[in-house]
Structure 1
Amino acid sequence: MKTGIKKISAVLCSTVLLAGVAAGCGESGKESKETAAPESSNAAKSPSDPPAKLTVEVFDRGVQGQPDLNNNFWTKYVNEHFGKPNNAVVEYVPVPRSQEVDKLNVLMAAGQAPDISFTYDGTLVTRFAKSDGLYTLDELLESHGQQLKTYLGDNVLDYGKYNDKQVSIPGKRTLLAWNGMFIRKDWLDKLGMPLPTNRDELYETLVAFRDKNPGNVNGVIPWATAAAGMNYTFGNLVQSFWGQMSEEEFVTTPNWLKPGNKDAYKWLNKLYNEKLISPDFALDKTTKQADADVTNGKVGFYAANWDYPMTQKIRVPLKQNSPDAHYVPVDTFKNTEGKYLKEVYNENGIFSFIPKSSKNAELAVKYLNWMADPEVMFFLQFGEEGVHHTLKDGIPQGIAQTGEKMQMSNLNMDYTMIVNGAELGDTEKNVKTYAAALASGDKQYEELAMESYKINTTDGYSSFYYGVPNESNIKYGKTLGDMNKQMVDRLVVAKEAEFDALYDKLVKEYMDAGGKAVQDENVKLYREIKAKTK
């Protein structure tokens, strides 16, 4: 399974051991022995037969006022335009977004995963494939997925291969920005302070937020975050501390051992102990507390997905609770070379796959193929003209909806898993229409989204793709990913006097638990690749 990100700048990074996120993108093991079991085909069905039931995963993001995720305007459209012509009923299975990996592991183990399941965790898909838990899809795509293959193209589809077999369908990512940093411009204006452009300036700003409380709120939080692995992050702070490395060192060294990494977490630890970071962030494993703090107007600065402040989930309650609040994107973590190094996405998005327990593999591929029809994709992303959007210079301008017709995720990404981001066939148009969809007609938020995308693709890098399986990563990836999250939280909240010893202890445990094995194999694979290119 190709889960690494191709190089898009002079800088390379291995996200295999990126602190705070799931470790690795390994791949190896036995290929699946089947393509589709005979009972998976529904081709022989006639209109008089009982309709087949196709189950499809959908994220439950806990959006305020959301309708039934299995019975709404969008699911009715799917069943009318795909279900009826195929003598099928499409049933959606909600999975909490914050628990999707754990939930999927349970469903797969029980043989109860939806016919079409998905996850952003490529390592998880690799493990399922290695254990022969997924259909290989090559023959099904050839027979029933030509439209889908044309839309995604070989480059994107390659990310879903394992042992040269197609075991998942990666979504096509049309927008590459990932994390962003946001600050209360109205608070800065009250304090007469400029936008911070480096760590020292940000520190001074956070102290001013804490001591002067420019919003006059009860329980001001200079920097809001949540438990590691949730939507709230530390942005590109850690990368700004990294020192000089050779390409090989940068690619193969786990982040915990990169020069400067320890100093980055020590700086965060200092901020936490000075009460500049959410006091109970490590307990906030669903982001509900962080969301509440932001939308209640208590927060001066935070890092999250590049589009998070513009989402309906944050924008609407914030306007209700704190009408004067004005967040703007900011680039504040500059490294010693004057770069604002930040990781960006690769060209693939979420991984959809069909578990071996499915009885409807053929129907599942037909469903994904149907979704690749330009008219279908456009409707699912943008809805009805005059209801969900208007057209301006060919760019859909979103109109916010509530109730049954509302979208539970931006551009209905959870109902359009073959694409991540707006799809109008052109990057500039995609950014513009995505910004318009986020803002739902609010020009201020539309402009903020455009600015945030620009900032958060500047000085972007992507991870090195090894091209072959890392057996150690498959073996230890889940353990290392869980350890990453725990290490981040423990280090940030530690007593300052205990930080150095704790960092060394946790990193040793991490390396002993498989980090060293993954690193050694990465070095071996990297050198083999370089030897072939000489």
Structure 2
Amino acid sequence: MMVVLPALTLFASALAGCGSDTTPKSQSMGAAASTSAAAATPSGPPTTLTVEIFDRGIQGQPDLNNNTWTRYINDNFGKQNNAIVKFVPVPRSQEIDKLNVLMAANEAPDISFTYDSATVSRYAKINGIMQLDDLLAKNGRELTNYLGKTVLSYGVFEGKQMAIPAKRTSLAWIGTFIRKDWLDKLGLPLPKNRDELYNALVAFRDKNPGGVNGVIPWGLAATGMNYGYGNLAESFWGKQSDEEFVTTPNWLKPGNKDALKFLNKLYNEKLISPDFALDKTAKQADADLTNGKVGFFSANWDYPLRQNISEPLKANVPTANFVPIDTFLNDEGKYKKIAYNENGVNVIIPKSSKNAELAIKYLNWMSDPKVLFFLQYGQEGVNHKMVDGLPQVINQTGDNMQTSYLNLDYTLVVNGVELGDQQKNIKALAASAPGYEAVAEQSYKINTTDTYTGFFFDTPNESNIKLGKTLGDMNKQMTDKLIVCKPAEFDSLYDKLVAEYMAAGGKAVMDENVKIYRAMQANKK
């Protein structure tokens, strides 16, 4: 791929060719290009471009404003644009609250970001962030080409480009995993549907193939994602129109009640972690898993391959073998499951920023494949090594330490591996789990098959902005109560809780979603 050489390289070429009338023509052209580039560089005092950065509180992390990656950014972008890129740390666990405070005080960084689309919607609605169409047209050609129309569409609100979404290269989300060594010991096949899974769970409970104290057939926690129930609900859902599927809360989807009733049955038959509702952080679930007590669970598609899980599990139970499976088959013969949308973090420029043009230039510079590669992998032999033609990060401390996976907090135009080819991206993802590469590739393939993605509403849902947190909290409480209640109480409790949910704002959000969805469909005609 064609890349623009850094101005420093051109300048060095020019110096090498100076001082003689017999300078070769090619060197003269290099000198002219260098002079032109130097003339185009802004002069005067440097501009400070402020950029948000997550402070993840990782032990031993480097100075977030002075490390290998920030020096590269300032040496290769800052100097060429007479700018100093200054990073503004924001605690990851408080990112929305902190951003709201900074926005209210007109002190938000020139480049701010959030994963929460509702927050972007709210700021777009109150005119708190800049419209970016003209800025992208003027200074973001490479950025626009890199992201593409589909990714950029997730940053469009009411027809205007209000945010720049990062490109998400890894679309797999939630997977399900089972102890194959336990199945083999019991002579059972990999379960391909709910009935076969139920039989396996009962066998795990009754025969305890691992010989552990307190066997847990299905590991569950109250975190909402890891150690959740995967795509079980989707396997029960009945047919709906596109509009109904997009606008109806899961509680009202046909078959959802049966899905929760199935979980209730498993809990009352002691097939699920007994104290899952108390495990808000999943620490207990992690301990049960790595101590060899869990036979089946659902979590991020690569969860059992991560070193903090795979290494202690291997040390405690060398024979343990978790494999990814598709087991929740629906009536259409598909394993319907959610995947990530193509967009990642949302980058916004606050209305208070005085450096919007420079901010777009910075993101445009970052979309260069050479720049992205360095920010993700650094220098060969120092920050990464090449194995079978693929870069592998060398985990380090100090200045070279990456405080997030592949420096995603610094690479704001992409979430995930970016090697310019999706098959290479997948193989590089798999290579990050040494010894489990084949399992990782299998899991990624399973969890990007029969998938759907969340619908993107291009207009802020005022009811959701106002009531979304309350409804989210209710969701978790309702699920826990329904799983642990007595079977005889289930039907009446489900109906009661759903009625309360709809009255608390669920209906208002649904009705507004219907209105927005229909307007969007009408605009397509």
User: What TM-score, normalized to structure 1?
Assistant: 0.80
Q: CA deviation at 1:340?
A: 0.6
Of 359, 365, 368 in structure 1, the residue corresponding to residue 363 of structure 2 is: 368
The 8 Å contact of residues 230 and 286 in structure 1, kept in 2 or not, is answered as: no
Alignment-mate amino acid for residue 218 of structure 2: W
Q: How far has the Cα of 1:94 moved from its partner?
A: 4.7
Runs of 5+ unmatched residues, structure 2: 1-39
Asked whether 1:294 is paired with 2:289, we answer yes
1:446 equivalenced with 2:440 (yes/no): no
Task: Check 1:119–1:272 CA distance in 2 against 1; reply closer, same or farther (3 A cut).
Answer: farther
Q: Residue 396 of structure 1 aligns to which amino acid in structure 2?
A: L
Q: Does 1:351 align with 2:346?
A: yes
1:432 matched to 2:427? The reply is yes
Matched, 1:490 2:481: yes
Q: 2:490 aligns with which of 496, 499, 509?
A: 499
- 1:528 Cα deviation (Å)? 5.5
Unmatched runs of 5 consecutive residues or more in structure 1: 1-42
C-alpha spacing 1:214/1:149, structure 2 compared with 1 (3 Å)? same
- What letter corresponds to residue 413 of structure 1 in structure 2? L
Q: Deviations over 1:333-364 (max 9, x none)?
A: 11122211112222212212233455554443
On the 8 A contact 1:284/1:290 being kept in 2, the answer is yes
1:95 aligns with 2:91: yes
Q: Does 1:146 align with 2:141?
A: yes
> What value does the CA root-mean-square deviation take over the aligned residues?
3.2
Q: Could you say which structure has the greater relative contact order, defined with CA pairs below 8 angstroms and 6 or more residues apart? A: 1
Aligned to 2:396: 402
TM-score (norm 2): 0.81
Equivalent residue letter for 1:488: T
Q: Partners in 2 of 1:229 and 1:112 — Cα distance?
A: 33
Alignment partner, residue 406 of structure 2: 411
Q: CA separation in 2, counterparts of 1:332 and 1:341?
A: 10
Shift in Å, 1:457:
1.4
Moved more, 357-366 or 118-127: 357-366
Kept in 1, the 8 Å contact 2:156–2:458? The answer is no
- Counterpart of 2:160 in structure 1 is 165
Structure 1 residue 45, shift from structure 2 partner: 7.6
Question: Is the CA contact 1:221–1:299 (under 8 Å) kept in the aligned structure 2?
Answer: yes
Task: Please tell me the residue identity of whatever aligns with 1:398.
Answer: Q
SS at match of 1:329: strand
Deviation sequence 1:453-480 (CA, Å, 0-9, x none) = 1101111123445655544444443433
- State the distance in 2 between where 1:408 and 1:218 align: 37
Structure 1 pair 386–102 and aligned structure 2 pair: CA distance change class (3 A): same
> Does the alignment pair 1:333 with 2:348?
no
Report deviation, 1:141.
2.8
Report the 3-state secondary structure (helix = DSSP H, G, I; strand = E; otherwise coil) of the residue aligned with 2:281.
Answer: coil
**Paired residue for 2:199, among 201, 204, 217?**
204
Q: Between Structure 1 and Structure 2, how many residues are aligned?
A: 484
Letter in 2 for 1:146: R
SS for the counterpart of 1:233 is coil
| Distance change (3 Å), C-alpha of 1:373 and 1:248 | closer
Residues 168-210 of structure 1 show CA distances to partners (whole Å, capped at 9, x for unaligned) of 1101122322211112222323333221111122222223333
CA offsets 1:262-306 (integer angstroms, 9 cap, x no match):
111121122233333333333333333333433343322221121
Matched, 1:461 2:452: yes
Could you tell me whether the CA contact under 8 Å between 1:480 and 1:513 is conserved in 2?
yes
Q: Please show how residues 166-245 of structure 1 align to structure 2 within 5 Å.
A: 166-245=161-240
8 Å Cα contact 2:181/2:319 also seen in 1: yes
When residues 231 and 71 of structure 1 are mapped into structure 2, their CA distance, relative to the original with a 3 A threshold, is farther
Counterpart for residue 260 of structure 1: 255
For residue 121 of structure 1, what is the amino acid of its counterpart?
A: D
1:275 to 254, 270, 282: 270
Q: Does 1:58 align with 2:49?
A: no
Instruction: Report the Cα offset of residue 48 of structure 1.
Output: 5.1
**264 and 368 in structure 1: CA distance in 2 versus 1, 3 angstrom threshold:** same
Structure 1: distance between partners of 2:227 and 2:64:
25
1:240 Cα deviation after fit: 0.5
Give the Cα–Cα distance (whole angstroms) in 1 for the partners of residues 145 and 65 of structure 2: 29
SS in 2 for 1:93: strand
Structure 1 residues 406-415 or 191-200, which shifts more? 406-415
Structure with larger Rg: 2
